[in-house]
């Protein structure tokens, strides 16, 4: 029995909704997203469009790369890497997201969160790393569409055991690619941060060398959806699940918020025991984010990592906006 089947059996009241397909979704439709596996060369100086940041080294992108999962299904990722990685292997940085690896970007944020357009290449996934910058640094950036989102297969769950296992399988796959030196990291903000902490609190892979969760959660019951037991951010929750585009089914988190008012086994599957994290961490945190304050500090304070750093700032979502972040943990 697969993990998806086990979860459905374990929680018989678990409901699912049919997401809007990418081609019809109002949030994705303007980007003309299509499934198109291809190998594309991005020479140094290439710009996606006028006014965008240019590629700083000769790079390549393998679009819609098929990544196998243990239950026989697949997720898909866009792999950006320096062209030199055909000869000199590089580490990979995973940006794991349900938002679309080639669609939603910081352009949708109000005034781009204060980030000038020429700071970003337009190839970055929402809340993730910019390949133009990180290919120059000698990394591959792998933007992965989570299970059940965009064109990836299967049932989409909001974090929990299923997503942790999928990330493990992705790390294993990437670490064995001919361009990879065997080292894998993860980075990103908000959902992307939670995905990292969720994974590392439940799974461990020798290829994973470091995490960079820039403002996330460790307990979505207490920190996001039901603080003090009261339903919170109801409009956000309802809209959140419908923001996912795909072909299969999406966990009805909004219904579960209402039907599981107390912390129980359902919420425990999505809780992160960060004391089990044992890889180096670079955490971002702030005091003024309505979602991420407690989770960010909780991750830093209680993670079992012997090497961990935290940067605390005074601005909202600087993890998303500071696209020229210059601090990183070596994962070579």
Out of 50-59, 207-216, 243-252, 312-321, which region has the weakest mean confidence (pLDDT)? 312-321
The predicted structure's pLDDT at residue 317:
65
Residues 189-215 pLDDT 10s: 999 999 999 999 999 999 999 999 999
Is 134 a residue whose pLDDT tops 90? Answer: yes
By the 8 A CB rule, do 140 and 179 touch?
yes
* Confidence class for position 78, pLDDT limits 50, 70, 90: very high
pLDDT mean across residues, the chain: 90
Decide if pLDDT at 103 tops 80.
no
Q: How confident is the model at residue 32 (pLDDT cuts 50, 70, 90)?
A: confident
Query: How far is 65 from 288, CA to CA, in rounded Å?
Result: 38
Beta-carbon-side half-sphere exposure of residue 211 (alpha carbons within 13 Å): 35
* Non-local CB neighbours of 234 within 8 Å, separated by 6+ positions: 254, 257
Half-sphere exposure of 287 (CA within 13 A, CB side): 3
Q: Structure tokens of 283? A: 């955490």
For 275-298, what is each residue's pLDDT tens digit? 999 999 999 998 887 788 899 999
Query: Could you report the per-residue pLDDT of 215-233, keeping only the tens digit for each?
Result: 999 999 999 888 888 887 6
CA distances (Å), origin 30, targets 11, 25, 33, 104, 213: 37, 9, 8, 10, 29
pTM of the model: 0.93
Which of 21-30, 50-59, 192-201 shows the lowest per-residue confidence on average (mean pLDDT)? 21-30
């Amino acid at each position: 029995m697969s993990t998806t089947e086990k979860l459905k059996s374990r929680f018989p009241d678990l409901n699912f909704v049919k997401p809007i397909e990418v081609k019809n979704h109002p949030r994705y439709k303007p980007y003309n997203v299509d499934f198109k596996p291809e190998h594309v060369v991005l020479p140094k100086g290439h710009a996606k469009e006028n006014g965008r940041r240019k590629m700083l080294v000769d790079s390549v992108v393998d679009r819609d790369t098929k990544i196998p999962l243990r239950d026989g299904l697949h997720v898909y990722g866009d792999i950006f890497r320096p062209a030199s990685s055909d000869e000199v292997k590089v580490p990979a940085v995973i940006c794991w997201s349900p938002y679309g690896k080639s669609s939603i970007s910081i352009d949708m944020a109000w005034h781009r969160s204060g980030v000038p357009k020429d700071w970003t290449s337009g190839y970055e996934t929402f809340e993730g790393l910019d390949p133009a910058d990180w290919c120059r640094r000698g990394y591959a950036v792998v933007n992965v569409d989570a299970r059940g989102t965009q064109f990836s297969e299967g049932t989409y769950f909001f974090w929990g055991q299923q997503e942790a296992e999928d990330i493990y399988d992705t790390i294993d796959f990437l670490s064995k690619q001919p361009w990879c030196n065997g080292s894998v990291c993860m980075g990103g903000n908000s959902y992307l941060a939670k995905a990292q902490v969720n994974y590392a609190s439940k799974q461990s892979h020798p290829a994973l060398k470091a995490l960079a969760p820039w403002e996330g959660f460790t307990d979505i019951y207490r920190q996001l959806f039901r603080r003090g037991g009261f339903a919170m951010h109801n409009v956000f929750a309802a809209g959140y699940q419908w923001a996912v585009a795909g072909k299969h089914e999406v966990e009805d988190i909004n219904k579960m918020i209402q039907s599981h008012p107390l912390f129980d086994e359902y919420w425990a599957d999505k809780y992160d025991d960060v004391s089990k994290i044992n890889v180096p961490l670079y955490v971002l945190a702030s005091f003024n984010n309505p979602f991420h304050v407690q989770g960010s500090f909780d991750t830093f304070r209680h993670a079992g990592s012997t090497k961990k750093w935290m940067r605390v700032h005074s601005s909202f979502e600087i993890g998303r906006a500071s696209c020229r972040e210059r601090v990183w943990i070596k994962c070579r």
